[in-house]
């Protein structure tokens, strides 16, 4: 039987680009939480810069992500309905509990970690910086036990985010490309690519002196391994994911071949920069920006393909349903707005680390610490 569609009403995209933004920022946040925990456990080997970049990636993503999510509700003003009608069997409802908890913990962790840096702002000549120093809330020292406890809690909370965001989409049986284990796994592993991308961007924003010893070999090792492992896993998962679509073969569609091919290339590019990571200088802005752009595009585009492009596949009819990115707030403007917000927060936060860096140089000279890395004096208060 030959069937040709004559009159078929296309179904509109129901989850807007906001959903992609949410998955992008919140994914980078939970992955950064895990990477931050690792870098903090090995704080004798990693630099304060990298740890700051990771802790800020985590906390900024944990703020920007939920904002993007409310954009995806067509009725953001009704967000309170989530709490007046708790529905434990719906993953989205569980998410409404997990998400604020994670955001709060992420901010707490970042604050605890950067407290010393914030406190040091009081030596600044800038009046606003002096005021901001009050946010350290006293002169008490953050102990490493406090740091570890809160960071571990944040990581666990981050895992609940990974679990619920994955499960929420996995349960949608009507879309075979979502209803398979490879889908949440892909989002999970590529979240680390996003986290590294944002951390590299932050490093590029920090006014770091052009000194090779600002970074440690472990910094480079962490970036390299995280990128390499997640890009390899993603490259393995992608064909598994794409093949698991019973009703329609992605490989028979030119548009899908281009999408899958571009993703494969972006994973390869991530592997490439991972392999270069130990060779290039982490204080070199242009290099940082290029590496950051490649990994961010890779992480973002994977989410675009797996969330937006999948929605153009018809559930019943032949499809694909047409979708064009609108220019307004439900489309391009929203995407740019969220990126702008992330950047604004990152620029503001990077000032804290920056000003601290200047004062540290003098500390270092006075104490003439034998260890040559800048990270050593910076973390004295955390390591005891």
Question: Which residue lies nearer to other proteins by CB, 7 or 212?
Answer: 7
Under rule CB under 8 A, residue 321 binds other proteins: yes
Q: How far is the CB of 13 from other proteins (least distance, A)?
A: 9
Segment (H or E) for 64: helix 48-72
Question: Which residue lies nearer to other proteins by CB, 177 or 199?
Answer: 177
Please state, in angstroms and rounded to a whole number, the distance separating the CA atoms of residues 19 and 22.
5
Please name the residues in contact with 369: beta carbons below 8 A apart, sequence gap of 6 or more.
Answer: 376, 377
Specify whether the CB–CB gap between 188 and 194 falls below 8 A: no
Residues of this chain, 196-255, that bind other proteins according to CB under 8 A: 247-248
Return the structure tokens found at 80.
């309170």
Specify whether the CB–CB gap between 109 and 56 falls below 8 A: no
Question: Which residue lies nearer to other proteins by CB, 6 or 327?
Answer: 6
Question: Which residue lies nearer to other proteins by CB, 41 or 73?
Answer: 73
Binding mask 273-312 for other proteins (x = CB under 8 A): --------------------------------------x-
Question: Which residue lies nearer to other proteins by CB, 88 or 138?
Answer: 88
Specify whether the CB–CB gap between 36 and 54 falls below 8 A: yes
Question: Which residue lies nearer to other proteins by CB, 172 or 347?
Answer: 172
Under rule CB under 8 A, residue 85 binds other proteins: yes
Among residues 279, 133, 124, 289, which one has the least CA distance to residue 200?
289
Under rule CB under 8 A, residue 87 binds other proteins: yes
- 44, 74, 130, 137: which one contacts other proteins (CB under 8 A)? 74
Under rule CB under 8 A, residue 79 binds other proteins: yes
Length of the chain as a residue count: 384
Q: Could you write out the three-class secondary structure of 253-320?
A: CHHHHHHHHHHHHHHHHHHHHHHHCCCCCCCCHHHHHHHHHHHHHHHHHHHHHHHHHHHCCCCCCCCC
Q: How far is the CB of 22 from other proteins (least distance, A)?
A: 11
* CA 67 centroid distance within chain: 14
Binding mask 93-132 for other proteins (x = CB under 8 A): x-xx------------------------------------
Q: How far is the CB of 194 from other proteins (least distance, A)?
A: 23
Size of the site for other proteins (CB under 8 A): 50
Under rule CB under 8 A, residue 323 binds other proteins: no
Burial of 179 (0-12, 13-18, 19+ CB in 10 A): middle
Segment (H or E) for 41: helix 17-41
Residues contributing to the site for other proteins (CB under 8 A)? 1-12, 14-15, 72-75, 78-79, 81-82, 84-85, 87, 89-93, 95-96, 168, 171-175, 247-248, 311, 314-322
């Amino acid at each position: 039987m030959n069937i040709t569609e004559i009159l078929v009403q296309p179904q509109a995209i129901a989850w807007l680009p906001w959903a992609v933004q949410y998955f992008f920022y919140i994914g980078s946040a939970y992955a950064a939480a895990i990477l931050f925990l690792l870098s903090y456990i090995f704080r004798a080997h990693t630099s304060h810069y990298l740890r700051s970049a990771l802790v800020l990636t985590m906390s900024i993503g944990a703020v920007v992500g939920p904002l993007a999510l409310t954009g995806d509700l067509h009725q953001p003003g009704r967000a309170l309905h989530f709490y007046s009608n708790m529905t434990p069997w719906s993953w989205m409802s569980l998410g409404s509990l997990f998400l604020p908890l994670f955001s709060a913990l992420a901010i707490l962790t970042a604050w605890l970690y950067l407290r010393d840096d914030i406190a040091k702002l009081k030596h600044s000549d800038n009046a606003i910086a002096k005021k901001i120093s009050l946010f350290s809330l006293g002169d008490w020292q953050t102990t490493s036990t406090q740091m570890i406890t809160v960071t571990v809690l944040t990581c666990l909370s981050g895992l609940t985010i990974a679990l619920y965001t994955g499960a929420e989409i996995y349960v949608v049986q009507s879309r075979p490309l979502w209803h398979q284990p490879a889908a949440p796994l892909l989002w999970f592993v590529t979240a680390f690519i996003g986290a590294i991308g944002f951390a590299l961007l932050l490093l590029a924003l920090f006014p770091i002196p052009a000194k090779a010893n600002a970074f440690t070999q472990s910094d480079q090792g962490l970036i390299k391994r995280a990128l390499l492992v997640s890009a390899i896993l993603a490259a393995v998962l992608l064909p598994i994911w794409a093949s698991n679509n019973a009703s329609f073969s992605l490989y028979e569609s030119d548009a899908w071949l281009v999408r899958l091919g571009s993703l494969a290339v972006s994973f390869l590019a991530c592997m490439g920069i991972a392999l270069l990571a130990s060779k290039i200088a982490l204080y070199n802005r242009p290099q940082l920006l290029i590496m950051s752009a490649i990994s961010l595009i890779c992480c973002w585009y994977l989410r675009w393909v797996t969330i937006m492009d999948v929605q153009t596949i018809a559930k019943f009819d032949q499809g694909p349903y047409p979708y064009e990115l609108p220019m307004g707030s439900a489309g391009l403007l929203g995407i740019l707005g969220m990126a702008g917000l992330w950047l604004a927060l990152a620029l503001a936060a990077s000032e804290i680390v920056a000003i601290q860096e200047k004062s540290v140089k003098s500390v270092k000279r006075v104490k003439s610490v034998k260890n040559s890395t800048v990270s050593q004096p910076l973390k004295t208060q955390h390591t005891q």
